[in-house]
Amino acid sequence: MNVRLPWVVAGAFVLAVILSVLIFGGKNTATEDIRAAYLPGGEFTLSHGGERFDMRGLRGAPYILYFGFTHCPDVCPLGLATIRDALQQDEALSDVKALFVSVDPERDTAERVASYAAFFHPNILGKTGTKEEITKLAKAYGTYFMAGAKDANGGYSVDHTAYYYLLDRDGELVRVLDHNVTALTIAEELQKLL
Ligand code: NI
């Protein structure tokens, strides 16, 4: 029997561990979520209607970031209801917050977006900012939005991508969840970040 073989195997294992730490150590979830690893993410400041909001204020607990607008007929109400259900899955998530950022600052005043989001759940904070701020934030998270043409009454829709972005307690983007995931899946992912 070759007595050296176990040592070669053990050595290869240690080397593999060191290499994976070196490669993935910067973002510990890179292996789990390639989109979260690829997107820049980051924390931004939003100002709207004399109000100033700094995302860094949410540090200390994981949170969900979600983009939309209050006139959205279907996607956003469904998304916010799913977030509400996720936060209600477990007592441990009772302090977790969600940030609903409106991509329609023309119609969504700070008050309007705040009360709209809170209608779904008190932990969902509705915010918006200047067009420039929102564009920068959305780009960092890989969210697209584009306002459509106005109808005769001045009404319009806003096309937008819909993802649930999960940020950890340090404000680092760690998961990008598709819109069709269940509230339970979101809750389970949040629990891992507590
Ligand atoms: Ni929407």
Question: At residue 27, does pLDDT exceed 50?
Answer: no
pLDDT of residue 26: 47
pLDDT of residue 125: 97
pLDDT of residue 63: 98
Looking at residues 3-19, what average pLDDT do you find?
66
Q: Using a CB cutoff of 5 Å, list residues around ligand 1, an ion.
A: 68, 72, 75-76
Cα–ligand 1 centroid distance for 72 (angstroms): 4
**Averaged confidence pLDDT in the chain:** 90
Cα–ligand 1 centroid distance for 174 (angstroms): 23
Task: Residue 162: name the closest of 83, 103, 79 by CA.
Answer: 79
Q: In the structure encoding, which two tokens stand for residue 22, read together?
A: 């070196």
What is the pLDDT confidence band of residue 30, given thresholds at 50, 70 and 90?
very low
What is the pLDDT confidence band of residue 166, given thresholds at 50, 70 and 90?
very high
Looking at residues 118-147, what average pLDDT do you find?
97
Global pTM value: 0.83
Question: At residue 83, does pLDDT exceed 90?
Answer: yes
Question: At residue 42, does pLDDT exceed 80?
Answer: yes
User: Exposed, middle or buried by CB within 10 Å (0-12, 13-18, 19+), for 183?
Assistant: middle
Task: Residue 87: name the closest of 172, 171, 164, 140 by CA.
Answer: 164
Question: At residue 73, does pLDDT exceed 60?
Answer: yes
pLDDT of residue 14: 63
Interatomic CA distance for residues 138 and 182, integer angstroms: 23
Cα–ligand 1 centroid distance for 160 (angstroms): 6
